[in-house]
Structure 1
Amino acid sequence: MVDTPPLPYRLNVGAVLFSPEGLVFVGKRKGFPDAWQLPQGGVDDGENIRLAVLRELKEEIGTDKAEILTEHPEWLLYDLPPHLIGVAWKGKYRGQRQKWFALRFTGEDADIQLDADDHPEFEEWRWVKLADLPDLAVAFKRDIYERLAQDFAPYAQR
Protein backbone atom coordinates (compact mmCIF):
# COMPACT_ATOMS: atom_id res chain seq x y z
CA MET A 1 0.00 0.00 0.00
CA VAL A 2 1.29 3.45 -0.91
CA ASP A 3 1.07 6.18 1.72
CA THR A 4 -0.42 9.42 0.47
CA PRO A 5 1.73 12.39 1.42
CA PRO A 6 0.18 14.88 3.85
CA LEU A 7 -0.86 17.30 1.16
CA PRO A 8 -4.10 19.31 1.14
CA TYR A 9 -6.96 18.99 -1.29
CA ARG A 10 -7.37 21.63 -4.00
CA LEU A 11 -10.66 23.53 -3.73
CA ASN A 12 -12.64 22.98 -6.93
CA VAL A 13 -16.06 23.45 -8.52
CA GLY A 14 -17.64 21.25 -11.15
CA ALA A 15 -20.52 21.65 -13.59
CA VAL A 16 -23.00 19.01 -14.68
CA LEU A 17 -24.41 21.01 -17.58
CA PHE A 18 -27.75 19.70 -18.84
CA SER A 19 -29.08 20.41 -22.32
CA PRO A 20 -32.80 21.16 -22.69
CA GLU A 21 -33.16 17.50 -23.76
CA GLY A 22 -31.68 16.30 -20.44
CA LEU A 23 -28.30 15.27 -21.84
CA VAL A 24 -25.00 16.25 -20.20
CA PHE A 25 -22.01 18.10 -21.66
CA VAL A 26 -18.69 16.20 -21.61
CA GLY A 27 -15.41 17.37 -23.04
CA LYS A 28 -12.46 15.31 -24.24
CA ARG A 29 -9.32 16.49 -22.44
CA LYS A 30 -6.78 17.99 -24.80
CA GLY A 31 -3.80 15.68 -25.18
CA PHE A 32 -5.37 12.78 -23.26
CA PRO A 33 -6.90 10.11 -25.49
CA ASP A 34 -10.25 8.83 -24.23
CA ALA A 35 -10.26 11.17 -21.20
CA TRP A 36 -13.75 12.65 -21.15
CA GLN A 37 -14.82 14.80 -18.25
CA LEU A 38 -17.20 17.43 -16.97
CA PRO A 39 -16.15 21.09 -16.79
CA GLN A 40 -14.41 21.79 -13.50
CA GLY A 41 -11.74 24.03 -12.10
CA GLY A 42 -10.09 25.64 -9.13
CA VAL A 43 -11.65 28.25 -6.90
CA ASP A 44 -9.73 31.48 -6.33
CA ASP A 45 -9.13 32.68 -2.74
CA GLY A 46 -12.29 34.33 -1.46
CA GLU A 47 -14.27 33.56 -4.63
CA ASN A 48 -17.98 32.77 -4.35
CA ILE A 49 -18.39 29.16 -5.50
CA ARG A 50 -21.60 29.87 -7.43
CA LEU A 51 -19.77 32.53 -9.41
CA ALA A 52 -16.74 30.25 -9.73
CA VAL A 53 -18.71 27.52 -11.51
CA LEU A 54 -20.01 30.02 -14.08
CA ARG A 55 -16.49 31.43 -14.53
CA GLU A 56 -15.15 27.93 -15.10
CA LEU A 57 -17.82 27.24 -17.71
CA LYS A 58 -16.86 30.44 -19.53
CA GLU A 59 -13.14 29.54 -19.41
CA GLU A 60 -13.51 25.89 -20.40
CA ILE A 61 -16.39 25.88 -22.88
CA GLY A 62 -16.53 29.51 -23.98
CA THR A 63 -19.95 30.34 -22.56
CA ASP A 64 -21.65 30.86 -19.24
CA LYS A 65 -25.14 30.67 -20.71
CA ALA A 66 -26.51 28.51 -17.94
CA GLU A 67 -28.67 28.71 -14.87
CA ILE A 68 -27.83 26.90 -11.66
CA LEU A 69 -30.48 24.30 -10.82
CA THR A 70 -28.98 22.97 -7.60
CA GLU A 71 -25.79 22.64 -5.61
CA HIS A 72 -24.73 19.20 -4.43
CA PRO A 73 -25.23 19.10 -0.65
CA GLU A 74 -21.77 17.64 0.03
CA TRP A 75 -18.19 18.39 -0.88
CA LEU A 76 -16.90 15.38 -2.83
CA LEU A 77 -13.25 14.34 -2.60
CA TYR A 78 -10.92 12.39 -4.81
CA ASP A 79 -7.27 11.47 -4.47
CA LEU A 80 -4.90 11.49 -7.40
CA PRO A 81 -3.39 8.15 -8.34
CA PRO A 82 0.07 7.70 -6.77
CA HIS A 83 1.96 8.38 -10.02
CA LEU A 84 0.37 11.87 -10.26
CA ILE A 85 0.87 12.95 -6.64
CA GLY A 86 3.75 15.38 -6.55
CA VAL A 87 3.36 16.01 -10.30
CA ALA A 88 -0.11 17.47 -10.94
CA TRP A 89 -0.74 21.05 -9.76
CA LYS A 90 3.00 21.54 -9.22
CA GLY A 91 2.94 18.90 -6.50
CA LYS A 92 0.95 21.03 -4.05
CA TYR A 93 -2.17 18.86 -3.68
CA ARG A 94 -3.13 15.23 -3.09
CA GLY A 95 -6.45 15.54 -4.94
CA GLN A 96 -9.49 17.76 -5.08
CA ARG A 97 -12.31 18.79 -2.77
CA GLN A 98 -15.17 19.54 -5.14
CA LYS A 99 -18.51 21.30 -4.96
CA TRP A 100 -20.67 20.18 -7.86
CA PHE A 101 -23.57 22.02 -9.46
CA ALA A 102 -26.33 20.93 -11.81
CA LEU A 103 -26.95 23.63 -14.41
CA ARG A 104 -29.34 23.99 -17.33
CA PHE A 105 -27.73 25.21 -20.57
CA THR A 106 -29.65 28.24 -21.85
CA GLY A 107 -27.67 28.84 -25.02
CA GLU A 108 -27.31 27.18 -28.40
CA ASP A 109 -24.69 24.56 -29.30
CA ALA A 110 -22.95 27.24 -31.39
CA ASP A 111 -22.28 29.19 -28.16
CA ILE A 112 -19.90 26.45 -27.03
CA GLN A 113 -16.42 27.54 -28.13
CA LEU A 114 -13.68 25.27 -26.78
CA ASP A 115 -10.96 27.59 -28.10
CA ALA A 116 -12.29 30.76 -26.41
CA ASP A 117 -9.54 30.58 -23.74
CA ASP A 118 -5.83 30.91 -24.49
CA HIS A 119 -5.24 27.48 -22.92
CA PRO A 120 -8.11 25.22 -24.01
CA GLU A 121 -8.80 22.20 -21.81
CA PHE A 122 -10.96 20.28 -24.26
CA GLU A 123 -10.39 19.32 -27.89
CA GLU A 124 -13.92 18.09 -28.59
CA TRP A 125 -17.26 17.79 -26.85
CA ARG A 126 -20.62 16.05 -27.01
CA TRP A 127 -23.91 15.61 -25.17
CA VAL A 128 -24.32 12.24 -23.40
CA LYS A 129 -26.83 10.52 -21.15
CA LEU A 130 -26.21 11.20 -17.46
CA ALA A 131 -26.11 7.47 -16.76
CA ASP A 132 -23.15 7.12 -19.17
CA LEU A 133 -20.90 9.49 -17.17
CA PRO A 134 -19.20 6.89 -14.96
CA ASP A 135 -18.11 4.82 -17.95
CA LEU A 136 -16.47 7.88 -19.53
CA ALA A 137 -14.57 8.97 -16.42
CA VAL A 138 -10.94 8.24 -15.65
CA ALA A 139 -10.73 5.60 -12.92
CA PHE A 140 -9.86 7.97 -10.06
CA LYS A 141 -12.93 10.15 -10.76
CA ARG A 142 -15.38 7.32 -11.43
CA ASP A 143 -16.85 7.22 -7.89
CA ILE A 144 -17.68 10.92 -8.05
CA TYR A 145 -19.27 10.58 -11.49
CA GLU A 146 -21.37 7.65 -10.23
CA ARG A 147 -22.54 9.78 -7.32
CA LEU A 148 -23.39 12.70 -9.62
CA ALA A 149 -25.28 10.42 -12.01
CA GLN A 150 -27.37 9.18 -9.10
CA ASP A 151 -27.89 12.43 -7.22
CA PHE A 152 -28.58 14.65 -10.25
CA ALA A 153 -30.82 12.14 -12.06
CA PRO A 154 -33.99 14.24 -11.54
CA TYR A 155 -32.41 17.01 -13.67
CA ALA A 156 -31.89 14.70 -16.65
CA GLN A 157 -35.55 15.09 -17.59
CA ARG A 158 -36.53 17.20 -20.60
Structure 2
Amino acid sequence: EPPRDAMYRELKEELGLDPSQVREVARMGRWVSYKLPPRYQRSRAPRCIGQKQLWWLLRLTCADERVRPDLAEEPEFDDWSWVDYWHPAEEVVFFKRSVYRQVLEEFGERVGLRATVNMR
Protein backbone atom coordinates (compact mmCIF):
# COMPACT_ATOMS: atom_id res chain seq x y z
CA GLU A 1 0.00 0.00 0.00
CA PRO A 2 1.51 3.38 -0.96
CA PRO A 3 2.25 5.63 2.07
CA ARG A 4 -0.28 8.33 1.13
CA ASP A 5 -3.02 5.71 0.69
CA ALA A 6 -2.10 4.23 4.09
CA MET A 7 -2.27 7.69 5.70
CA TYR A 8 -5.78 8.29 4.35
CA ARG A 9 -6.91 4.78 5.32
CA GLU A 10 -5.64 5.34 8.89
CA LEU A 11 -7.31 8.76 8.98
CA LYS A 12 -10.64 7.15 8.09
CA GLU A 13 -10.21 4.13 10.39
CA GLU A 14 -8.97 6.04 13.44
CA LEU A 15 -10.72 9.43 13.17
CA GLY A 16 -13.61 8.87 10.76
CA LEU A 17 -12.29 11.51 8.34
CA ASP A 18 -12.32 11.47 4.54
CA PRO A 19 -9.62 13.08 2.36
CA SER A 20 -12.06 15.91 1.56
CA GLN A 21 -12.08 16.90 5.25
CA VAL A 22 -8.37 17.67 5.44
CA ARG A 23 -5.75 19.47 3.38
CA GLU A 24 -2.18 18.26 3.09
CA VAL A 25 0.20 20.97 4.32
CA ALA A 26 3.48 19.04 4.35
CA ARG A 27 5.01 15.58 4.40
CA MET A 28 8.14 14.50 6.24
CA GLY A 29 11.14 14.41 3.96
CA ARG A 30 12.25 11.10 5.45
CA TRP A 31 11.02 8.08 7.38
CA VAL A 32 11.52 8.21 11.16
CA SER A 33 11.63 5.26 13.53
CA TYR A 34 11.79 4.23 17.14
CA LYS A 35 12.72 1.00 18.88
CA LEU A 36 10.56 -0.35 21.67
CA PRO A 37 12.27 -0.95 25.02
CA PRO A 38 12.66 -4.72 25.61
CA ARG A 39 9.78 -4.87 28.09
CA TYR A 40 7.39 -3.58 25.37
CA GLN A 41 8.64 -5.80 22.55
CA ARG A 42 6.43 -8.62 21.41
CA SER A 43 8.37 -11.85 20.98
CA ARG A 44 5.52 -13.89 19.50
CA ALA A 45 4.27 -13.50 15.95
CA PRO A 46 3.78 -10.97 14.68
CA ARG A 47 7.05 -9.88 16.29
CA CYS A 48 7.26 -6.15 17.01
CA ILE A 49 10.43 -4.37 18.12
CA GLY A 50 9.59 -0.85 16.96
CA GLN A 51 8.04 1.15 14.17
CA LYS A 52 9.07 3.09 11.07
CA GLN A 53 6.77 6.00 10.17
CA LEU A 54 6.23 8.63 7.51
CA TRP A 55 4.33 11.67 8.82
CA TRP A 56 2.03 14.25 7.21
CA LEU A 57 0.96 17.63 8.53
CA LEU A 58 -2.74 18.04 7.74
CA ARG A 59 -5.12 20.96 8.15
CA LEU A 60 -8.63 20.08 9.26
CA THR A 61 -11.08 21.66 6.80
CA CYS A 62 -14.33 20.48 8.36
CA ALA A 63 -16.08 21.14 11.66
CA ASP A 64 -14.40 19.71 14.76
CA GLU A 65 -17.47 17.55 15.39
CA ARG A 66 -16.62 15.51 12.28
CA VAL A 67 -13.57 14.06 14.05
CA ARG A 68 -14.99 10.80 15.40
CA PRO A 69 -12.47 8.38 16.93
CA ASP A 70 -15.43 6.59 18.53
CA LEU A 71 -16.58 5.27 15.14
CA ALA A 72 -13.60 2.92 14.80
CA GLU A 73 -14.25 -0.80 15.02
CA GLU A 74 -11.54 -1.02 17.69
CA PRO A 75 -10.93 2.59 18.80
CA GLU A 76 -7.30 3.54 19.38
CA PHE A 77 -8.33 6.87 20.92
CA ASP A 78 -11.03 7.66 23.43
CA ASP A 79 -11.00 11.42 22.89
CA TRP A 80 -9.18 14.23 21.13
CA SER A 81 -8.59 17.94 21.64
CA TRP A 82 -6.67 20.87 20.22
CA VAL A 83 -3.41 21.45 22.09
CA ASP A 84 -0.34 23.67 21.85
CA TYR A 85 1.87 22.67 18.90
CA TRP A 86 4.72 21.30 21.06
CA HIS A 87 2.49 19.55 23.61
CA PRO A 88 2.53 16.08 21.96
CA ALA A 89 6.32 15.76 22.28
CA GLU A 90 6.08 16.58 25.97
CA GLU A 91 3.31 14.08 26.72
CA VAL A 92 4.00 11.08 24.49
CA VAL A 93 5.45 7.89 25.99
CA PHE A 94 9.20 8.26 26.55
CA PHE A 95 10.39 5.94 23.78
CA LYS A 96 8.54 7.94 21.10
CA ARG A 97 9.70 11.42 22.20
CA SER A 98 12.66 11.59 19.83
CA VAL A 99 10.43 10.82 16.84
CA TYR A 100 7.81 13.38 17.90
CA ARG A 101 10.48 16.02 18.36
CA GLN A 102 11.96 15.34 14.90
CA VAL A 103 8.53 15.54 13.30
CA LEU A 104 7.46 18.71 15.11
CA GLU A 105 10.78 20.43 14.43
CA GLU A 106 10.64 19.64 10.70
CA PHE A 107 7.02 20.71 10.34
CA GLY A 108 7.60 23.71 12.61
CA GLU A 109 10.27 25.00 10.24
CA ARG A 110 7.82 24.69 7.36
CA VAL A 111 5.10 26.67 9.14
CA GLY A 112 7.35 29.20 10.86
CA LEU A 113 7.42 27.85 14.43
CA ARG A 114 10.62 27.75 16.47
CA ALA A 115 11.61 24.66 18.42
CA THR A 116 10.59 25.33 22.01
CA VAL A 117 9.68 21.85 23.14
CA ASN A 118 10.72 20.95 26.69
CA MET A 119 12.05 17.40 26.53
CA ARG A 120 11.97 15.50 29.84
Q: Output the TM-score relative to the length of structure 1.
A: 0.64
- Length, aligned pairs only: 110
Aligned amino acid, residue 125 of structure 1: W
CA deviation vs aligned residue, 1:26-77 (integer Å, no higher than 9, x gap): xxxxxxxxxxxxxxxxxxxxx1111211111111111132122221011101
Aligned amino acid, residue 103 of structure 2: L
Structure 1 residues 156 and 63 mapped into 2: Cα distance closer, same or farther (>3 Å)? farther
Which residues of 2 match residues 111-122 of structure 1 at below 5 A? 111-122=66-77
**2:54 match:** 99
Partner of 2:55, secondary structure, is: strand
Question: Unmatched 5+ residue regions in structure 1?
Answer: 1-46
Shift of 1:110: 0.8
Specify which of 2, 6, 14 is matched with residue 60 of structure 1.
Answer: 14
Question: Unmatched 5+ residue regions in structure 2?
Answer: 114-120
Which residues of 2 match residues 5-154 of structure 1 at below 5 A? 47-64=1-18, 65-86=21-42, 90-153=45-108, 154=110
Considering fraction of residues, name the structure with more strand.
Answer: 1
Shift of 1:156: 7.2
CA deviation vs aligned residue, 1:100-149 (integer Å, no higher than 9, x gap): 11111111111011111111110111111111221111001000111122
**2:118 match:** none
Partner of 2:25, secondary structure, is: strand
* C-alpha RMSD of matched pairs (Å): 1.8
Structure 1 residues 148 and 127 mapped into 2: Cα distance closer, same or farther (>3 Å)? same
Q: Which has the higher contact order (CA 8 A, sep 6+)?
A: 1
Structure 1 residues 156 and 109 mapped into 2: Cα distance closer, same or farther (>3 Å)? farther
Partner of 2:103, secondary structure, is: helix
Percent identity (aligned): 34
**C-alpha separation between the residues in 1 aligned to 2:55 and 2:32?**
8
Structure 1 residues 142 and 115 mapped into 2: Cα distance closer, same or farther (>3 Å)? same
**C-alpha separation between the residues in 2 aligned to 1:105 and 1:56?**
15
Aligned amino acid, residue 89 of structure 2: P
Considering fraction of residues, name the structure with more helix.
Answer: 2
Q: Output the TM-score relative to the length of structure 2.
A: 0.82
